[in-house]
Each structure stands twice: as structure tokens, then as C-alpha cells.
Amino acid sequence: MKIMIVVGARPNFMKAAPVIFAIRDHNAGLPALRHSSSAPSAGAVEEKIQLVLVHTGQHYDEAMSGSFFTDLGLPKPDVHLEVGSGSHAVQTAEIMRRFEPVLLEEKPDEVLVFGDVNSTVACALVASKIALDASGRRPLIAHVEAGLRSFDRDMPEEINRIVTDHLSDLLFITEDSGELNLSHEGIAREKIHFVGNTMIDSLLASLEKADKSTVLDQFGFRGAPGAKQATRPYALLTLHRPSNVDNRETFLSILEGLTELSSTCPILFSAHPRTRKRIAEFGLERYFHSGGAQADGETGIRLLEPLGYLDFLSLMKQATLVVTDSGGIQEETTCLLVPCVTVRENTERPVTVTCGTNVIAGTQSERIRQAVQEQLHRRKPGRIPEKWDGKAGARIVETILRDFAGRNSADNSLEETAAAATVGGAIGSGKPE
């Protein structure tokens, strides 16, 4: 079986890594499965998986792409499309144009896409209409992190989610809301598989390494040896949603909502390239500083380059509070039980609010200020959502293999029935010789 995995932008890498490792583990276990004297466990499929890893190049800076391959221990992509940045139409079209010949050359049985970025929808769209041979065969499409809905169609990702889900043959959901949303849209129940969250698989697998990061020392937030607290208090901030940072008023409103917090607790702001551009364009530099190691009593917002995955996890785990508009960070803080204030009007990840440590504050400064205070004095403990247990990647690979085996045996029996019908038809046709 040949599986093609498509990644392109920062949040794809940590979602894809556990599936890649589960494929590797599956292949490594095959000889044992074959030579085992006891019968293989129910549902185990002895099919070697050939993996083709495609990177679209939607994100390309070392800090937005390369460093994640190193931190996560990912293999080098087999194919790199090098599309780079552009408007939605240009980027999506360019990915499609460059992906089509790769699909025709590789002819995979299955294409796996992740999350809700332009690379996700572009490659799903190509795979859905391709003809790999004269019979018109196309690869199956599997969407990892299916079913999430913000119900806000002004959000480009919402369009990507809806389109990708409707093109997919297997939909892997991370939380209950996914099943409800997909059922409401008429997607057949048997295509939906609740497997857990691969982003959380990566988080759990990386925590030990993240603990070795020296980022807290670099920024001067490690407590003095023997001090009561291992770290000095700080908050962590990320912003990159176009609705927040491409609009000067909204961006300012968010910053104003954080002034009370930043006057007592330093805020570390990992700024996405889009955000950095807007800070320069809107002349917002005076809201930030960019210091070296933290001086005692430092306050304000310190502007940082995007951080590597392990450094970011280390900072997130120790933070007093996280303020973000990121999808993935709402989930990671839930898993780490760190209070999170989401500066958006909605979330496509409701389980992070109902079960986790997240509150949705919107973007008005007063509401943000209140949410920050609420979270700083939070009493309600968070809970880890169902199946966010580090095993989602393995569940996905098992499901794909079982599904593939099931389809093959259905095809074979159809062929046999057709052959039998042809023979029977010829004998019993009564046509003159």
C-alpha cells in the first residue's frame, strides 16, 4: 500500500509526525507479525506501507518549517513543491498545479491531508478529480482533524475545512463536535472515525525533550537556584489570524486589552511573519520591546521571532497564562492544563472550553481584560479530552489498513461474482453458437 502524506504549513508538521511514526512502527512490526507462532491480533493487517512525504512549501522560513523537521525528527520530504506565499487563489492554484504531476507519477492508494490550511484543500481537490489509470481510479482521501467548525465563513480555514471534509473518504475527528457537525452536513457515519488528536500525540512525545530546552534561561525566566518558584511568572502570546492582525483597529484593541496584564507580568510574544509585517506597516513598534535576558521587574510585551517547537512547548508548559488566536495552541494548553485566553469571537474546538482550560474572549479590549483576570484567578481545573492520549497516529494507521483491506476484499468478491455471472450468462444465454 502506498500512502502520500501532504504537509505545507507550521501546524501540519506536528499533526503529521505521529502518523509517519506509526507507519514506520507498523512496517517494523511486520516480520514479527509474519513469523509469530501465535495468530496475529484481530484486525492486524499485514500490508507493508510505502510512504511518500510531500511538502508544498506553503511555509518556507527555517523558523516556520525546517526547524520543525529537526525538532520532531521528521524525515526529509520526498517531494518539495516550493510554492511559497501568494494570495489564496494564487497559492491554492499553484499547489494544485504542482501537485497533480506528483500524484500521477507516484500513484498512491491514499492521500492524507491535515488540518485546514490552503495546502490541505488544494491537494484534496487534486486527488478527488485525478484519474490514475484508464479505469479512472483515484486515491482515497483521508482528512486528519476533520469536522471542526467555527461557523464563521469569513475565516479562510472554515472554507478549507468544509471543502476538504466533503471531498474525503475517511474523516478522522479529534473531538465529539466533529461527528455532530459532519452528520449535520450529511456526511455518512461510516466515513467518520474518532481517533483522538495527533497534535497531542506530538506534544506528549516531545515533553521530555522540551524540558531540556534552555529557552527559559536564555530569556531569564528560570528562577534562581533554590528559589521557591522554578520559573518567574510570564505570559505567552501568539497572534496571526488575518481578522486580528490585518486590521489595525482590531490589532490595537487586542494590545490594549493586554496592557493591564503586561504592566505586572511580562508577556513573551512569538510573532508570526504575517504579524511582524503588519506591526511594521501599522507602525505599532512602540507597543513592544525586544530585550535580551529578562531583568528583574521587567514588564511589557517582548517581541520574538517564531520559536522552535520544543522551545515553544517549554515556554507554554511553564506559562502563567497563554493568550492566542491559534487553533492548535488552544488544544495544547488544554492538554497542559495551562489557562488560555483565546482572542477570537469563536472556536472550532469547543472541547477546549467545555472540558479544557480555554475561554473565548473576543477581540474587544475590555472583554480581553476581564477574561485575563478570570483566567489568572481560575479555580475550575481542566480535564483532558477523550482519546487525547498519544495514540491517535496509531489509530489512524490501523483504521486506514483495515479500511483498505476491507475495500480490496469487497472488490475481489465483486470481480469473482462478475466473472461467475459472465460464465453462467454464457452457458445459460441460449444464444446460437
Do residues 159 and 195 touch, judged by C-beta distance below 8 A? no
Q: 26 an active-site residue?
A: no
333 near ligand UDP, rule: CB under 6 A? no
Cell numbers placing 147? 469536522
11 near ligand UDP, rule: CB under 6 A? yes
Query: Using CB under 6 A, which of 57, 196, 327, 393 touches ligand UDP?
Result: 327
Amino acid at 162: I
344 near ligand UD1, rule: CB under 6 A? no
Contacts of 421 (CB under 8 A, 6+ apart): none
Q: 3-class SS at 147?
A: coil
CB-wise, 306 or 382, nearer to ligand UDP? 306
Residue 175 contact among ligand UDP, ligand UD1, none, beta carbon within 5 to 8 Å by kind: none
Query: Using CB under 6 A, which of 7, 17, 21, 118 touches ligand UD1?
Result: 118
Q: If binding means CB under 6 A, how many residues of this protein chain bind ligand UD1? A: 19
Helix or strand run (H / E) with residue 235: strand 235-239
Amino acid at 124: A
402 near ligand UD1, rule: CB under 6 A? no
Nearest to 68 by CA among 313, 237, 268: 313
Query: Using CB under 6 A, which of 36, 50, 70, 85 touches ligand UD1?
Result: 85
Cell numbers placing 228? 521557591
CB-wise, 2 or 276, nearer to ligand UDP? 276
Stretch that binds ligand UD1, among 59-67, 197-205, 340-348, 366-374 (CB under 6 A): 59-67
Helix or strand run (H / E) with residue 330: helix 327-336
Query: Using CB under 6 A, which of 274, 383, 387, 402 touches ligand UD1?
Result: 274
Catalytic residue among 240, 272, 289, 377: 240
Query: Using CB under 6 A, which of 18, 51, 56, 58 touches ligand UD1?
Result: 58
Query: For the chain, how long is the longest CA-to-CA vector?
Result: 101
CB-wise, 116 or 165, nearer to ligand UD1? 116
Measured between alpha carbons, how far is 13 from 57 in angstroms, rounded to an integer?
12
Residue 270 contact among ligand UDP, ligand UD1, none, beta carbon within 5 to 8 Å by kind: ligand UDP
CB of 59 to ligand UD1, least distance (A): 4
CB of 105 to ligand UD1, least distance (A): 25
Query: Using CB under 6 A, which of 139, 196, 328, 390 touches ligand UDP?
Result: 328
- Half-sphere exposure for 139 (CA within 13 Å, toward CB): 27
Cell numbers placing 350? 469547543
**If you write DSSP's letter for every residue of 27-77 in order, what string do you get?**
HHHHHHHHH-SSPPPTT------EEEEEE--SS-SIIIIIHHHHHHTPPPP
Residues annotated as part of the active site = 240
Chain positions contacting ligand UDP, by CB under 6 A: 10-11, 14, 238, 270, 306-307, 309, 312, 326-329, 332
